[in-house]
Amino acid sequence: MLSRHPGTTLLLNDAQAAEIRSQFPILRHKVYLNSCSQGALCEAVEAGLREYLESWHAHGSPWDLWVDHYEQARTLFARFIGADADEVAIVTSASEGINSLASALLFRERKKVVMGEFEFPTMGHIWLAQRPRGAEIEFIAARDNRVAIEDYAARIDRNTLIVPLTRVCFANGFRSPVREVVAAAHDKGALVLLDDFQDAGTRPVDVKALGVDFYVTGTLKYLLGSPGLAFLYVRRELIPALVPTVTGWFGQANPFAFDVKHLDPAPSARRFQSGSPPVPSIYSTVPGLKLLMNTGMENVAERVQHLTRKLMEGAEKLGIESKTPADSVGPLVVLRAHDAEALVKKLAERDIAASARRDGLRISFHLYNSDQDVQSLLMALEHNLDLLVTKHPAAAGH
């Protein structure tokens, strides 16, 4: 495991970075800058999937073994975010976890759900779907590619039940003022749900220090896993009073009691689970989490910030307008484009993987990216300035 020496700032050195990169075969032929959509596949994760297949071949239905692995994933993720295992539910997607939570809330004394317009669409969809149950949804408009804490504070009141909050906006890379929003919400007695899907895996997480009531993220991006798995943290003190109506046999105190006539929610956050666990995704998650934790999350964060700064400085020199605030520490940088989809295709011709959302070219960095990746991207952008929004239009077309 890499470690930090007292009094020094540690960034992964070239040898360490090269060793990490060697574990991701796609990097041998592609500049991969699309972790915001799907993390690159590493050899350890691939080996985990093979281990699952081998267990299936060898034993047919080794559910005892699979459930042990399932619990290992829960324990590992709980440690990753500074929680206890009993505060973590394993679900198949962030949407499933949020739906289960929403179903357990009662819109009686408090009815308002307050959120910024930078949330991922599923967050809006799920809470809007609670309106027949009494929920009143209020969206906060952005100003200058930010959702200001002052606007949260002005809208959160004694009628607010919950504040869903994205850590990093999927569309422009804006990083929310989490601690400030939590303080404003708790001051009015409201709960906070943090969606960390666009950041978890790029820096240390401590849900206790953040003070959030609920935390959700999935494995397919920066946690290096496959689709089909997500985690929901529920603060211990809140669990007994929350009984989800979106449930299933793995949400019960004893799933293997096979009791069809009684509803007996688990006393832990497991009550927010539903059906049979996604075993293949669990086998791919454990190696990814171990790789990140063995690298050291502070090391990962420093590398991501370093690469983000190099890109933003290079884009500024080229006169490219950024949708991401200048003080960003990553992992997502979004550059303004006239035709983002066409630009993604142009980059693909140079074996550079990126993605587009609306008028933005999305570039995302992770522990396996390098300075050379940034240079390759900047060279490609310079040759396609006509597709980008620039501060100096005369420079377009180079």
Instruction: Pick 4 or 16 by higher pLDDT.
Output: 16
CA angle 160, 92, 68 (to 5 degrees): 120
Query: What's the whole-number average pLDDT of the chain?
Result: 94
Q: Quote the pLDDT of residue 11.
A: 65
CB atoms within 10 A of CB 369: 30
Domain ranges in the chain are 14-40+296-395, 47-293
- 161 token code pair: 């039940």
User: Tell me: the pLDDT tens digits for 375-389?
Assistant: 999 999 999 999 999
Instruction: Pick 4 or 46 by higher pLDDT.
Output: 46
| CA–CA dist 165, 157 (Å, integer) | 16
Q: What is the β-pairing status of strands 332-336 and 360-364?
A: antiparallel
The dihedrals phi and psi of 62, each to the nearest 5 degrees, come to -80, 65
Strand partners, 94: none
What is the average per-residue pLDDT within 15-39? 95
**What's the CATH code, domain 14-40+296-395?**
3.90.1150.10
Domain 47-293 class in CATH: alpha beta
Banded model confidence at residue 393, pLDDT cuts 50, 70, 90: low
Q: Is the pLDDT of residue 4 over 70?
A: no
Share of the chain above pLDDT 70, in %: 96
What is the average per-residue pLDDT within 286-313? 96
Q: Is the pLDDT of residue 296 over 60?
A: yes
User: Tell me: the pLDDT tens digits for 41-55?
Assistant: 999 999 999 999 999
DSSP string of 67-136, one letter each residue: HHHHHHHHHHHHHHHT--GGGEEEESSHHHHHHHHHHH---SS--EEEEETTS-HHHHHHHHTTGGGT-E
User: Tell me: the pLDDT tens digits for 88-115?
Assistant: 999 999 999 999 999 999 999 999 999 9
| CA–CA dist 378, 31 (Å, integer) | 12
DSSP string of 21-76, one letter each residue: HTT-GGGGT-EE--TTT-PPPPHHHHHHHHHHHHHHHHHS--HHHHHHHHHHHHHH
- Supply the DSSP symbol for 261: T
Q: Is the pLDDT of residue 141 over 70?
A: yes
Banded model confidence at residue 13, pLDDT cuts 50, 70, 90: confident
Instruction: Pick 7 or 181 by higher pLDDT.
Output: 181
User: Tell me: the pLDDT tens digits for 352-373?
Assistant: 999 999 899 999 999 999 999 9
User: Tell me: the pLDDT tens digits for 146-161?
Assistant: 899 999 999 999 999 9
Q: Quote the pLDDT of residue 144.
A: 86
Q: Quote the pLDDT of residue 145.
A: 85
Banded model confidence at residue 394, pLDDT cuts 50, 70, 90: very low
User: Could you give the 3-state DSSP secondary structure of residue 216?
Assistant: strand
Q: Quote the pLDDT of residue 366.
A: 97
Q: Quote the pLDDT of residue 1.
A: 39
User: Tell me: the pLDDT tens digits for 209-227?
Assistant: 999 999 999 999 999 999 9
CB atoms within 10 A of CB 294: 9
